[in-house]
Chain A
Amino acid sequence: MTYQEKKSIVSIISAILIFVSFSAYKYVRYPEEGLEPTEALRYWGSFVLVLTLVSILAHIVISIVFNIVFRITTGEKEPTFADELDKHIELKANRNGFFVFILGFLLAMGALAIEQPVQVMFVTLIVSGFISDITGSVTKLYHYRRGV
């Protein structure tokens, strides 16, 4: 299995771990009694913001650890540049990821339009962000294995 394939798999696993563990951490801290609308907005706003920051930091750390483990276990260096195949696959992954996110964004706006609670809109947005991340990594894995 190539470096890029392993990296895509690590990216999928880490995205799932980060999302599930952060959501579980926040879930137990969710106020049991109903929130005021302004408090609810603040809660979900901080949820999205902190999840984004935690996710970026965790991805950086996991990427560094992965590169170190890859070097030790295979004795190879990770590719230092992205060639035209890598860029081609990256573009396809971004396209699919954005498509999923836009779909989730529209669903979230639809939830507001049909007068669903604001939580539904935020949960839809957060889940679509997570699925778009996974979609991007799965797209990369697929194209590295099956070709472009």
Chain B
Amino acid sequence: MGKNLVGNHIRKLRFNHDEMTQQQLADKVGVTRQTIVALEKGNYSPSLELAFRIAHAFSMPLEEVFFYGDNTEE
């Protein structure tokens, strides 16, 4: 919606983790695939809890998965 300032590297990280599918990540963190799609497209900023769960799924610190700034993926 053009005002989302929390970006993420989820798409890139999924491919770096054995080409994990959106559904696999969704199952791992307990959300629907639709939510992962919305996160990757920058249409939704996750709650802090979900952000931590996603970072944990990739075994990475939060700031390496999410970033604050413009909504274009680096």
Chain A positions near chain B (C-beta within 8 angstroms):
2-4, 79, 81, 83-86, 88, 144, 146-148
Q: Give the secondary structure class of A's interface.
A: helix
Interface range, B side: 10 to 19
| B4 sits at the interface (CB 8 A) | yes
Q: Count A-B pairs with CB separation below 8 Å.
A: 39
**Interface residue ranges, B against A (CB under 8 Å):** 1, 4, 30-32, 34-35, 37-38, 41-44, 46-47, 50
From A2, A85, A146, contact of B31 by CB (8 A):
A85
State which of B35, B43, B46, B47 has its C-beta within 8 Å of the C-beta of A146: B43
Q: Is the CB of A84 within 8 A of B43?
A: no
CB distance A147 to B32 under 8 Å?
A: no
Residues of B within 8 A of A79 (CB): 32, 34
